[in-house]
Amino acid sequence: MNNLYSAGKVLSYTIRTVALLHIFSSNVFEVSDTTGESMLPTLAVVNDSAVVDKRYKYGRNVKMGDLIVARKPTEPSSLVTKRITGMPGDIILIDPSKNSLQRLSLENHDMQEITPIENSSYDNYVIVPKGHVWVTGDNLNASLDSRTYSVVPLAMIEGKLVYAWYLTGMLSMFTNSPRKLANTFVEE
């Protein structure tokens, strides 16, 4: 009977701990791995772990230049790490070498929300609609971003990256220190 009581107690504490960790990682901070070339040189291609501040979830208090984690509008099950380069009401010149926004299909995107100003291939401008942001990778040549999938709704933002830590193994946790990810647009 005593062993059963002890096992129940351990199980109870385990469930409580897991629940608290889940609440913490959903609403306060989360550690996330990053991969890909789109954020070079800010984030490494592999082995960078980022601390995501969940207080910025749903776009709360984000500003121009912030690094964010968001759901990809064309594939909501995927997360992307990008920098905010346009806020609601901003006028954006789309990269003429990509000219990707023209190829987006009306079935997959709510294009009525995007207001085109000019439509030539070298002067293609849009106004970022209310409740959305324009995002790009720091490595523009290797980034799929708003130039490809259009604006990102604020509701798809999962948080703001505040620190990154280059981890190649367990020992690197002690030899490498975390680095603060600065906003390159606005002084903090």
Q: What is the pLDDT of residues 59-101, one digit of tens each?
A: 999 999 999 999 999 999 999 999 999 999 999 988 655 545 5
Name residue 82's amino acid. K
pLDDT at 6: 84
Please give the radius of gyration of the chain, using alpha carbons only, rounded to the nearest integer.
20
pLDDT at 33: 85
**54, 82, 146, 160: which is the annotated catalytic residue?**
82
The CA-atom distances, in angstroms, between 58 and each of 1, 53, 174 are 49, 12, 33
Tokens standing for residue 49: 């772990």
Residues of the chain with pLDDT below 50 are 99, 102-109, 118
pLDDT at 188: 55
Q: How many CA atoms lie within 13 A of 187 on its CB side?
A: 0
Provide the Cα torsion 21, 24, 26, 32; round to 10°.
Answer: -80
Residue 79 and residue 72: Cα distance in Å, rounded? 6
Asked whether the whole model's pTM tops 0.85, one would answer: no
> Which CATH number does 30-180 carry?
2.10.109.10
pLDDT at 98: 57
pLDDT at 12: 85
Other Cβ atoms closer than 10 A to 38: 23
Map out the domains of the chain as residue ranges. 30-180
Q: How is residue 186 annotated by DSSP?
A: S
**38, 143, 146, 150: which is the annotated catalytic residue?**
38
Q: How is residue 108 annotated by DSSP?
A: T
Residues in CB range of 131: below 8 A, 6 or more apart:
88, 153, 154, 155
Q: Can 82 be counted among the known catalytic residues? A: yes
pLDDT at 173: 63
